[in-house]
Amino acid sequence: MQQNYKSVEVSQVVISELMLPSHSNFNGKIHGGYILSLLDQIAFACASKHSRAYCVTASVDTVDFLKPIEIGELVTMKASVNYVGRSSMVIGIRVESENIQTGDIKHCNSSYFTMVAKDKEGNSIEVPGLVLKSDDEIRRFAKSIKRKEMKDFRVNEFHETDFASEKYLHILEDHKAKIEMHS
């Protein structure tokens, strides 16, 4: 089969939305869950645009809330395909908020969603490759590979079957944990 490739920019998606009081939490800031919902929507749009297929969220690899978003600010999300596998894509999303009265812009969030392309029967399908045209695009692709390797390591570590607590006691020494095991 002839593999096709697409450049990063043809699948990029940008959305902006004014943050309303109905989006706020009990502290008067925009609720993180609302931002997560918008992140999932733009990740879907970007992945679907790249693959020209229906896409599902396989994992939310990283969501770093850096600064709070205020009511009345204009939030802009910029999504790009950072990495492609056989049927999966890592979508990198940058979230900025703008105080529309002062023009001040702050970087509020960076996120990485893994999306998988599906056919009508729900089977994973192959996605186009990615043409990398800049150092930033190469860096994002390479960092996605590193994040995938670290995730695979964490999954393997989590599913470890030969757990022995004494192997981990040294890790707990500088943390807020008090061990009171009863024999």
| Residue 131 belongs to a domain | yes
Look at phi and psi of residue 86 and say left if phi exceeds 0, alpha if psi is from -120 to 50, else beta: alpha
> pLDDT tens digit string along 149-175?
998 888 887 777 777 788 878 888 888
| Residue 177 belongs to a domain | no
Query: In angstroms, rounded to a whole number, what is the distance separating the alpha carbons of residues 42 and 16?
Result: 11
Q: Which CATH number covers residue 63?
A: 3.10.129.10
| Residue 109 belongs to a domain | yes
| Residue 182 belongs to a domain | no
Q: How confident is the model at residue 1 (pLDDT cuts 50, 70, 90)?
A: very low
| Residue 179 belongs to a domain | no
Query: In angstroms, rounded to a whole number, what is the distance separating the alpha carbons of residues 11 and 143?
Result: 19
Q: Which two structure tokens, joined as six digits, stand for 140?
A: 């994002």
Split into its structural domains, the chain has a count of 1
Q: How confident is the model at residue 104 (pLDDT cuts 50, 70, 90)?
A: very high
The residue that leads in pLDDT, 56 or 180, is 56
pLDDT for residue 168: 79
34: three-class secondary structure by DSSP: helix
Element (H, E) at 77: strand 74-84
Q: What are phi and psi for residue 45, nearest 5 degrees?
A: -65, -45
Domain assignment of residue 94, given as a range: 5-161
**Report field, pTM of the whole predicted structure over 0.75:** yes
| Residue 175 belongs to a domain | no
Query: Sign of dihedral through CA atoms 69, 71, 76, 82?
Result: positive
| Residue 13 belongs to a domain | yes
> Do the Cβ atoms of 38 and 75 come closer than 8 Å?
yes
| Residue 38 belongs to a domain | yes
> pLDDT tens digit string along 25-46?
999 999 999 999 999 999 999 9
